[in-house]
Structure 1
Amino acid sequence: MVGNGSIGALIDARGRIVWGCVPAFDGDPAFCALLQPKHDGGDFEIELEDCIRTEQHYVDNTAVLRTVLYDARGGVVEILDFAPRWKQYDRFYRPVMLIRGVRPLAGEPRVRVRLRPLAEYGARVPDVTWGSNHIRYVLPGFTLRLNTDAAIRLVREETPFLLDRELHFILGPDETLTRAVADYARESLEKTIDYWRDWVRALSIPLEWQDAVIRSAITLKLCQYDETGAIVAAMTTSIPEYADTARNWDYRYCWLRDAAFVVRALNRLGATRTMEEYLRYVSNLIPEDGHLQPLYGIGMERELHEEEVPTLAGYRGMGPVRRGNLAWVQPQHDVYGSVVLASTQLFFDRRLNLPGGTTHFNRLERLGERAFALFEQPDAGLWEFRGRVEVHTYSAVMCWAACDRLAKIAGQLRLHERADFWQERATRMHARISELAFDPQRGHFVEGTHSGRMDAVLLLLADLGFVRADDPRFAATVDAVGRELGRGDGMLRYVAPDDFGVPETSFTICTFWYIDALAAVGRTEEARELFERVLARRNHVGLLSEDLSLEGSELWGNFPQTYSHVGLINAAMRLSRPWEDAT
């Protein structure tokens, strides 16, 4: 993945751009080859003739991707891909733009440039116009312009040619480039590398697994849409959770729950700007009655109508492809606790330019009122069941967390009456949930207050502060989850059939939750060993999707998944040896 907070793109192991929406994360996928469009194209490839192998990695501590291609005759080509981002005029320069640089490293390589965006979710080929140094691709509502120092005719006609010098391809808005292409591309590369390395330098990372944590942190940052502060769950739509399933969903929206996890993980690393920008987004969503949907569009859209897209066959032909997500209409009561938890540090962290005050607290109190009213009411739950509703333990605990944190915030603000008010409510809720969600016969907590099923999300009860990690009830819950939901090196969300049958892949963040819980109850060596095995299942550049196959190492689900990288960061922070061990 490459990106800059305005745009994101996915690049395969041969350096081909196969996914990218314009003009934003949720836009029309001009590059949709990943989902097999009916029309030929939907990609941007610099093809090396007779290519026999490839190498790929990120430039250290950046979002700049380096791909090296080798041909059968000794020719070697390097491709650098990035989206420009740096601080300029007291704001971030982050155009809707991808820049590709390609240069020969050895031999006499011959390449062919194929730039074939599609329009309307792969439904048609856009109109193309060209001039002496550019090509324009006219998409609905947005025109892409390629500025390049390569021969325009060779690009237009996809003619192979000898690559005897460095070339640059700047794909962005339909604006004239008023300087030399090579100069702009090189300066952009230098400034973008400097930006990311400065950003990484400010992180408070653990001693161990530094590269994995840094890559996960950059990935999370790339999933925040700078225009509004929204954080998408993933960059893609409709990559199935496992082979030949209808579990294909559009994740290019902001789930308040997922985003709260991202904020908390980056806060642990000291990257608090993400929290400030995200909470600005959330503040625009809270209505007078405090009602929240589980997800919104990155432009704060409230209606995300779901429909199937017939012009895309799907990942490996495994449709359907969906646009929009019907979960926006579901009741998911944990959302209230998610927003309050994401906001809490705002009132305690003295580093922030705009810390939380009474106005923000009053806004959050609306969410507390909803949480108190709904904590015993049925909802669709964390996993967004479409065919059933019930009272879910996690939803109830998150409602408790909303009231508990409001009490703490009120105390910090010296609003003593409000602190007492919310603490009294939190105490009542805690007693009631403890009564309903604990199974005394089995000695552990269960998923629903009436179902008795197990759910991996119960592993979060200690992290949320609902129980202490040394509480025997929590240790028994960890044991029960591992016993009933563990599958090899992975963890299922649940085992009971849902709307689409029985789950067939492990859910990556659940595995990280289990690792974290093992460490919390003192089983640290077991946790470390499992953590190392899961890290080994990342892809070749250190990224994770939503799910992992139960056998082998195949990634499934939308990509890259913020949930998964949150879990990696949190587990690494808990498990790492302290810096004093090295220093």
Structure 2
Amino acid sequence: MTSLDLGVIGNGAVAALVDASATINWWGFPRLDGDPVFLSLINGGKDGDGQDGPANGFFSLDLASQIHAEQIYLPNSAILRTTLYDDDGGVAEITDFAPRFVLYERIYRPPMLIRQIRPIRGRPRLRIRVRPCFQYGELLPQITRGSNHIRYVGASQTLRLTTDAPISYILEERHFLVDQPLTLIIGPDESLREDIERTARDLFERTLDHWRGWVRSLSIPFEWQDAVIRSAITLKLCNFEETGAIVAALTTSIPEAPDSRRNWDYRFCWLRDAYFVIHALNRLGVTRTMENYLGFITNIVDESREHALRPVYGISRESGIEERESATLAGYRGQLPVRIGNQASGQIQNDVYGSVVLAATHAFFDHRLIRPGNAELFERLELLGKKAIHAFDKPDAGPWELRTIAAVHTFSSVMCWAACDRLSKVAAVLDRPERAGWWRKQANRLHAVICEHAWNPRLGHFVSQFDGEELDATLLLLHELNFLSAADPRFVATVEAIGRDLRRGDFLFRYKTSDDFGIPETTFVICGFWYVDALAALGRREEARSLFESMLARRNPLGLLSEDIAPESGTLWGNFPQTYSMVGLVNSAMRLSAPWEDAF
């Protein structure tokens, strides 16, 4: 059965998912949000041999009589290695990567994947099946062949597979003896004018050196280093480097829970993620990616003078991401619908103003950045702050993007307060005392209103909506956002209430009330990390560490997380890999780790 035991390979332009048996079952081309030419992850049915699996949309390498596979990342890299075993002692090794390194003083990141095959032992017999499709599975390619390549021609784009493997065996999908190394390069329809094996070896060595150098530049905690490094690399693979955008996940329509219809397209950039991503990148010392992301955000700020901010944008700042359902694809494990685009782009979510201001604040305080914040940026951010003042007590869809239910959500209001609070601090740094005082007055006013309407005196804790009675996990961020101190009895009471009402075993629901699709069935990974952070802030460090370790144990075999976890089985659900989840892991590890000095 299809699962999320997947590895990610990529280079900041494209990213692909590889399953535990070395099948590429997802690849958006020619960029992260592009038409997935391999999409069998979300297309059930039978394959061409009548076996379980899709008929098209994959790139598989399998041995005759294969019995076992093992998979690892090469340490400190985004290069994935799968070892296949057959029942006659044959062993073959598959190395998958997307080239990435510095060339001519800029990053070389072509929309290309490379697969290197090496026989290790015995007489492994391999079958190569390359079955791309176009237009979300609606169009099968026309296929033409050359002496060392195969072209897969669609209506608007063409893939080329260049290889030193026998072309006829690939086209006929016939097993053949692998007695020497082989290389497969798939990407744009461009001729390769150099020796293929030597080219792939050079690209491999440069890419490996690049990733290991990148990892050496990270600021990581003493404990849980491997988990943090893998999270950092994965976060980087979700970064569309050309514009600076970071997608929420690489996939669409992996459901939050079986038969829930909570199937969303996450291949876009949510402004809400900005604060959390920037916070994690800053802690890791990934200043270039952080600065590029700030550039993406400030471009949006420039365009929004007369308009409300949207909650989510395309990776090149497209605002029209209309949602539609595929009539062709069968869905992940047969779970429909498969959605393309996201309706949230047209919602009102008032937290976006605080999200952008909090993210942009780094530009005024981080002296490592090449393009620091200045008076002009501050004045543009003030326009957003004024919109936050207007919106803070207005109904919206909230942080969980409710589709038909509007209310004044506490998190949205607190984020509007945070916009005013940070603008006061930025004004002070810029030596503008009058503006600092004005924004402080606004922040104080919003703070008082929020405390009046979001605190429920009968229940004795904060609630998710003004004058309401329900909880949601974003209330765990009241301390993280500096709205309340960790010692504030109201924060302590709210954390305790959330632990009592939203916790299920070692995991946390985002809320337990009915929404547009009923009551949530799976726990939300990032909420679990927020709870860990809140416990640590309250001084309950041993409890926080135990819970953190339990959550780490739910990562897939390659150390990656999706959006949701089924609390009883521990099964991963939701889009993959989830940026939110990987950011939460980094932040919690940084908070909980013993200092480096304890090692010596």
SS in 2 for 1:136: strand
SS in 2 for 1:418: helix
Paired residue type of 1:257: R
Specify the alignment match of 2:109 in structure 1.
Answer: 94
Aligned residue runs from structure 1 range 37-116, under 5 A: 40-116=55-131
2:166 pairs with 1:159: no
In 2: Cα distance, 1:285 partner to 1:545 partner: 28
Which residue, 3, 18, 29 being the options, matches 1:22? 29
SS in 1 for 2:464: coil
Aligned residues: CA RMSD:
1.1
Specify the alignment match of 2:51 in structure 1.
Answer: none
Specify the alignment match of 1:542 in structure 2.
Answer: 559
Specify the alignment match of 2:11 in structure 1.
Answer: 4
Specify the alignment match of 2:313 in structure 1.
Answer: 296
Which residue, 128, 131, 134 being the options, matches 2:143? 128
Paired residue type of 2:425: K
Q: For the Cα contact (< 8 Å) 2:459–2:469, is it kept in 1?
A: no
SS in 2 for 1:451: coil
SS in 1 for 2:586: helix
> TM-score of the superposition, structure 1-length normalised?
0.99
Aligned residue runs from structure 1 range 545-560, under 5 A: 545-560=562-577
Q: For the Cα contact (< 8 Å) 1:62–1:218, is it kept in 2?
A: yes
SS in 2 for 1:66: strand
Q: For the Cα contact (< 8 Å) 2:44–2:332, is it kept in 1?
A: no
Paired residue type of 1:14: S
SS in 2 for 1:284: helix
Q: For the Cα contact (< 8 Å) 1:216–1:568, is it kept in 2?
A: yes
- Deviation at residue 262 of structure 1 after TM alignment: 1.4
Q: For the Cα contact (< 8 Å) 1:101–1:167, is it kept in 2?
A: yes
Q: For the Cα contact (< 8 Å) 1:290–1:366, is it kept in 2?
A: no
In 2: Cα distance, 1:259 partner to 1:147 partner: 39
In 1: Cα distance, 2:435 partner to 2:405 partner: 36
Q: For the Cα contact (< 8 Å) 2:183–2:196, is it kept in 1?
A: yes
Q: For the Cα contact (< 8 Å) 1:37–1:122, is it kept in 2?
A: no
Aligned residue runs from structure 1 range 164-313, under 5 A: 164-286=179-301, 287-289=304-306, 291-313=308-330
Q: For the Cα contact (< 8 Å) 1:475–1:521, is it kept in 2?
A: yes
Which residue, 368, 373, 379 being the options, matches 1:362? 379
Aligned residue runs from structure 1 range 476-515, under 5 A: 476-515=493-532
In 2: Cα distance, 1:6 partner to 1:260 partner: 23
The Cα offsets for residues 419-450 of structure 1, whole Å up to 9 and x where unpaired, read as 11111111111111111111122221111112
Which residue, 427, 438, 453 being the options, matches 1:421? 438
In 2: Cα distance, 1:441 partner to 1:123 partner: 56
- Structure 1: gaps (5+ residues): none
2:337 pairs with 1:320: yes
- Structure 2: gaps (5+ residues): 1-7, 46-53
In 2: Cα distance, 1:321 partner to 1:332 partner: 24
Aligned residue runs from structure 1 range 438-457, under 5 A: 438-457=455-474
Paired residue type of 1:131: G
> TM-score of the superposition, structure 2-length normalised?
0.96
2:395 pairs with 1:378: yes
What is the aligned residue count?
583
Which residue, 330, 335, 338 being the options, matches 2:352? 335
2:153 pairs with 1:138: yes
In 2: Cα distance, 1:391 partner to 1:193 partner: 49
Q: For the Cα contact (< 8 Å) 1:379–1:389, is it kept in 2?
A: yes
SS in 2 for 1:431: helix
- Percent identity over the alignment is 58
Q: For the Cα contact (< 8 Å) 2:92–2:119, is it kept in 1?
A: yes
Paired residue type of 1:475: V
In 2: Cα distance, 1:510 partner to 1:389 partner: 22
Specify the alignment match of 1:401 in structure 2.
Answer: 418
In 2: Cα distance, 1:420 partner to 1:170 partner: 60
In 2: Cα distance, 1:398 partner to 1:390 partner: 15
In 2: Cα distance, 1:343 partner to 1:142 partner: 37
Q: For the Cα contact (< 8 Å) 1:289–1:366, is it kept in 2?
A: no
Q: For the Cα contact (< 8 Å) 1:112–1:161, is it kept in 2?
A: yes
- Deviation at residue 37 of structure 1 after TM alignment: 5.9
Q: For the Cα contact (< 8 Å) 1:68–1:78, is it kept in 2?
A: yes
- Deviation at residue 290 of structure 1 after TM alignment: 5.4
In 2: Cα distance, 1:182 partner to 1:487 partner: 52
Paired residue type of 1:231: I
In 2: Cα distance, 1:197 partner to 1:456 partner: 36
In 1: Cα distance, 2:365 partner to 2:596 partner: 25
Q: For the Cα contact (< 8 Å) 2:427–2:435, is it kept in 1?
A: yes
